[in-house]
Amino acid sequence: MLAGKRIVLGVTGGIAAYKAVEVCRLLVDAGAHVVPVLTEGAEHFVGRTTFSALASEPAQTSLWNEASPIPHTALGQSADLVLVAPATARLLSAYASGYSHDLLTNVLIATRAPVVLCPAMHTEMWEHPAVRANIATLRARGAHLVEPEEGRLAGGDSGTGRLAAPARIVAEVRAVLARGADLAGLHVVVSAGGTREPIDAVRVIANRSSGKQGYALAAEAIARGARVTLVSTVDLPTPAGVDVRRVQTAAEMEVAMGDLAEQADVVLMAAAVADYRPVAPAAGKLKKDQGVPQIVLEPTPDILAGLGARKPAGQVLVGFAAETSDLVANAEAKLARKNLDLIVANDVGAPGVGFQHDTNAVTLLQPGGEVDTVTLTDKRAVAKAVLDTVVRIRSAGADHHPRKQTEKA
Ligand code: C5P
């Protein structure tokens, strides 16, 4: 996976810079083409000659390189991945704010390749709210973090903040490259959150969906090179590059999804759509002195079943099933009834699973009877498993013939 990959190895000015030498060697040994970019601070710890001797190209340190008048765009655009090890608090701050004052920060801002950051600093710095905020910002924008480890730090101190072991860093680089851009060129449409159906001007019928699984799917899809549109009822931080359409009701979601799904390659219907809505929401606020309201409900449209009935050839349509009993049987019935290629079922009664949690555990069911399970893990890892399965379904479809449009079962 590393062979032939062009990796910019950014090294910043922390004592752990000496370990970046080992990272460089491991990457080159695995066949990667490594271009070291050192900050001024890094050169106080390790000389550029060391990196130049081990890497595939001489180390670069300056924006003002006469051989290449714009080294940052050339390096950023040609990289398959940019790795920063160690990443100091200063580098994280500059990258988070877009303050591109040297070659490495310019490369980071100029690149569209995946970025892997390996912070290393004293525990007090690692725990400082400014550093925590920068890490959160960079993660939300899609950077991959290799968390520092606990152990001995410079000056005889110990605690969390030690650069991750070189082998762990290289393993993360491999994992990020393996996922690579397997959704490049595809349009992925994701729905997220619970719908809100008005009772009157101030009250709604809602549900417990937080939208976190849908946002994790959107973040994972964009990290894998897709163009992503998120149809959302909630206001969570939007992953960089994702186009968001805000909706509230099932009716609004039906219109948005109907428009987008016509041209989409993958549709992930993660939203919790209300099954019923008030027939006639009151225009104003219902008053107590009007007595106990009798709210008459009507069914909402089944958006997913509609998309299944009109599914274009080659599209992969994924539904979600939140169940509290007979998980597999109920999910299988929905898979067939809604003409889906995959259903992601979760037992929302189990601890840590489904609505509002950061974690999830799911069963993935396909029409051929193939079943996979993902045990309790964070929602981003569930998103990875779902998109891995989508990629497999697409390549199996391409091996046969384009999927035919089928009638709603
Ligand atoms: O039948 P059930 O509501 O359990 O199916 C869940 C799946 O169907 C989810 O993917 C959900 O987004 C979708 N759904 C829908 N429209 C509805 C109800 C559910 O698209 N009215």
In the chain, the domains with their CATH numbers are 6-178 (3.40.50.1950), 187-408 (3.40.50.10300)
CA distance from start to end of the chain: 42
How large is the average pLDDT for residues 7-28?
97
pLDDT at 210 over 90: yes
Model pLDDT for residues 228-286, shown as the tens digit of each residue: 999 999 999 887 678 999 999 999 999 999 999 999 999 999 999 999 999 999 999 99
- Catalogue the active-site residues: 207
**Ligand 1 mean position to 225 CA, how many Å?**
27
Q: Which residue has the higher pLDDT, 234 or 140?
A: 234
Look-up: residue for tokens 């670069």? Answer: 60
Shortest-distance atom of ligand 1 to CA 320:
10
pLDDT of 72: 74
Q: Which residue has the higher pLDDT, 290 or 402?
A: 290
pTM for the predicted model, two decimal places: 0.68
pLDDT at 402 over 60: no
For ligand 1, whether the C-beta of 346 sits within 6 Å is: no
Model pLDDT for residues 17-26, shown as the tens digit of each residue: 999 999 999 9
Mean pLDDT of the chain: 92
Q: 163-167 contacts: CB < 8 A, separation 24 or more?
A: 163/14, 163/16, 163/19, 163/85, 163/86, 163/118, 163/119, 163/120, 164/85, 164/118, 166/19, 166/22, 166/23, 166/26, 167/26
pLDDT at 400 over 80: no
How large is the average pLDDT for residues 117-140?
94
With beta carbons less than 8 A apart as the criterion, state whether 215 and 231 touch: no
**Ligand 1 mean position to 148 CA, how many Å?**
41
Shortest-distance atom of ligand 1 to CA 343:
10
pLDDT at 405 over 50: no
Q: Which of 123-132, 141-150, 216-225 has the highest mean pLDDT?
A: 123-132
How large is the average pLDDT for residues 164-168?
96
Helices 103-110 and 89-97, axial angle in degrees (round to 10):
40
How large is the average pLDDT for residues 70-75?
78
In angstroms, rounded to a whole number, what is the distance separating the alpha carbons of residues 220 and 387?
8
For ligand 1, whether the C-beta of 320 sits within 6 Å is: yes
pLDDT at 297 over 70: yes
**Ligand 1 mean position to 403 CA, how many Å?**
23
For ligand 1, whether the C-beta of 321 sits within 6 Å is: yes
pLDDT at 148 over 60: yes
Shortest-distance atom of ligand 1 to CA 321:
6
pLDDT-based confidence at 399, cuts 50/70/90? low
**Ligand 1 mean position to 125 CA, how many Å?**
46
Look-up: residue for tokens 């009798």? Answer: 294
Question: Of 261, 241, 242, whose CA–CA distance to 253 is shortest?
Answer: 261
pLDDT-based confidence at 96, cuts 50/70/90? very high
For ligand 1, whether the C-beta of 269 sits within 6 Å is: yes
